[in-house]
């Protein structure tokens, strides 16, 4: 019998170096809100998304390519950029056929770390594209790293909940000897019918709800509203 590929969950970018990711598909998870926005913009026809770490770089690439520049700090659009991090800002009528240059703190950092550590393939995951992620991971038959972007390297609940949702769906296809995965899976199982209430307890909810983003956050924990697979290729995230 063939051995099943391994699946691990990484709870913070600071823990990524503990894992050999060289033969793995790495799923970048940043539920509130980067990877939810990435799925939504691609689902609505964005030609590509360029994730960048620095604001200045975002502005420069935006000018050079004529793309939409986007990024927030403390719930407000960053000075010099034109749009924010909300998935609601990227309907088909606006984003179709355009390039989105997106700067985010946590998700972009983890994506670049995965790239530098030699990930075999990088995709992004969020509840809006849950099924697309699960289908791809099962079909790939490769080792999987579920990479939680966390908040300034601190563990967060929402990224783990998504990891747990993935594990619940695909666990029979993988060998899982990983306490982080077991925790995420148990957490999701316990909370899946109570998500709207549970996420209101998270620190991130309290941080963002201050800015009136409740509708955004509820969208970000609803499965399959933008069911597409963002895959990283030569600097861009594109729909597979």
Residues at the contact surface with its own copies, assessed by CB under 8 A? 11-12, 14-15, 18, 151-157, 160, 177-180, 182-183, 186-187, 190-191, 201-204, 206
Nearer to its own copies, 24 or 44 (CB): 24
CB of 104 to its own copies, least distance (A): 18
**Contact between residue 81 and residue 114 where contact means Cβ atoms under 8 Å apart:** no
CB of 182 to its own copies, least distance (A): 6
Closest CA to 86 of 124, 34, 121: 34
- What is the dihedral angle through the alpha carbons of 118, 122, 126, 130, rounded to the nearest 10 degrees? -120
CB of 174 to its own copies, least distance (A): 15
Q: Which two tokens stand for residue 228?
A: 């597409």
Nearer to its own copies, 11 or 228 (CB): 11
HSE, CB side, 13 Å, CA atoms: give it for residue 147. 36
Nearer to its own copies, 27 or 52 (CB): 27
CB of 148 to its own copies, least distance (A): 11
**Contact between residue 73 and residue 39 where contact means Cβ atoms under 8 Å apart:** no
**Contact between residue 158 and residue 31 where contact means Cβ atoms under 8 Å apart:** yes
């Amino acid at each position: 019998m063939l051995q099943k590929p391994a699946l691990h969950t990484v709870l913070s970018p600071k823990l990524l170096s503990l894992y050999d990711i060289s033969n793995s598909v790495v799923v970048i998870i940043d539920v509130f809100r980067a990877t939810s926005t990435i799925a939504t913009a691609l689902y609505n026809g964005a030609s590509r998304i360029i994730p960048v770490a620095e604001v200045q770089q975002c502005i420069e690439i935006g000018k050079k390519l004529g793309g939409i520049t986007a990024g927030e700090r403390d719930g407000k659009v960053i000075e010099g950029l034109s749009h924010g991090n909300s998935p609601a800002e990227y309907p088909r009528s606006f984003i179709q056929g355009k390039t989105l240059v997106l700067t985010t703190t946590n998700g972009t950092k983890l994506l670049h770390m995965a790239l530098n550590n030699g990930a075999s393939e990088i995709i992004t995951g969020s509840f809006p594209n849950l099924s697309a992620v699960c289908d791809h991971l099962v079909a790939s038959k490769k080792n999987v790293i579920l990479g939680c972007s966390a908040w300034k390297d601190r563990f967060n609940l929402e990224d783990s909940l998504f990891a747990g949702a993935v594990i619940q769906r695909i666990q029979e296809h993988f060998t899982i000897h990983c306490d982080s995965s077991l925790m995420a899976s148990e957490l999701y199982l316990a909370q899946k019918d109570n998500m709207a209430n549970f996420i209101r307890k998270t620190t991130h909810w309290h941080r963002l709800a201050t800015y009136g983003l409740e509708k955004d956050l509820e969208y970000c924990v609803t499965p399959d509203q933008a069911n597409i697979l963002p895959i990283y290729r030569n600097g861009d995230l594109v729909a597979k």
